[in-house]
Amino acid sequence: MSESLAAFGYELGLLKRVRRSGWWHAGVRDPESVGEHSLRAAQLAALLAAEEGASPERAAFLALWHDTQETRTGDLPLTAVDYLRKPEPREITADQTASLPARSQALVRDAVDEYETRSSAEALCAKDADKLEMLLQALEYRDVGVQRVDEWIESARKGLTTETAKKIAEAALTLSPMAWRDR
């Protein structure tokens, strides 16, 4: 039992090194890691859920697990979709957690399933947080000179479902990424 949890912990550590590869297409030389993306997505999910009247803790928890499958697949850019079968996150998660103790296994599998099915307000907030994090990252990259980020910004905006996320996106588009210092 302890060995399987330790091994899974090591696997999760890969998320700190797996790069968000789609940004290479925009000209970003050293894009953020999946782990860095997931952290801010979880933080945003909690904020969105609080404003939407959902559970911030649950939304953040779902966002923490939403890309863990990328330890096995890497981050597949949108350009790969036409050539590869989109991996089913629940299948990957089932493989990743197969040797875990039953409670841990159920915890992770249930979180990924809830996120993927968008079966709760918290899952909707977590998904919006994923998109909103991408939008903020695109604006930050644009602020340091990366020019080809409009596609990511527009994709993120189109994918938002909660009113709070839509309002945050609009506000972010009018602020400088350094505006946080003035707030």
Which pLDDT belongs to residue 57? 98
Which pLDDT belongs to residue 80? 85
Closest to 171 (Cα-Cα) out of 126, 136, 134, 128? 136
Closest to 67 (Cα-Cα) out of 152, 130, 4? 130
**97: exposed, middle or buried (Cβ count in 10 Å: 0-12, 13-18, 19+):** buried
Q: Is the pLDDT of residue 46 over 90?
A: yes
Q: Is the pLDDT of residue 82 over 90?
A: no
Which pLDDT belongs to residue 21? 93
Band of the pLDDT at 176, cuts 50, 70, 90? confident
Kindly report the pTM of this predicted structure: 0.94
Q: Is the pLDDT of residue 182 over 80?
A: no
Q: What is the mean pLDDT of the chain?
A: 95
In angstroms, the CA 157 to CA 165 distance is: 9
Which pLDDT belongs to residue 177? 77
Q: Is the pLDDT of residue 23 over 80?
A: yes
Tell me the three-class secondary structure of 118-177, residue by residue.
CCCHHHHHHHHHHHHHHHHHHHHHHHCCCCCCHHHHHHHHHHCCCHHHHHHHHHHHHCCC
CA–CA–CA angle 57, 55, 124 (5° rounding): 100
Closest to 29 (Cα-Cα) out of 137, 177, 146? 146
pLDDT tens across 62-79, in order?
999 999 999 999 898 888
pLDDT tens across 28-42, in order?
999 999 999 999 999
In angstroms, the CA 156 to CA 127 distance is: 10
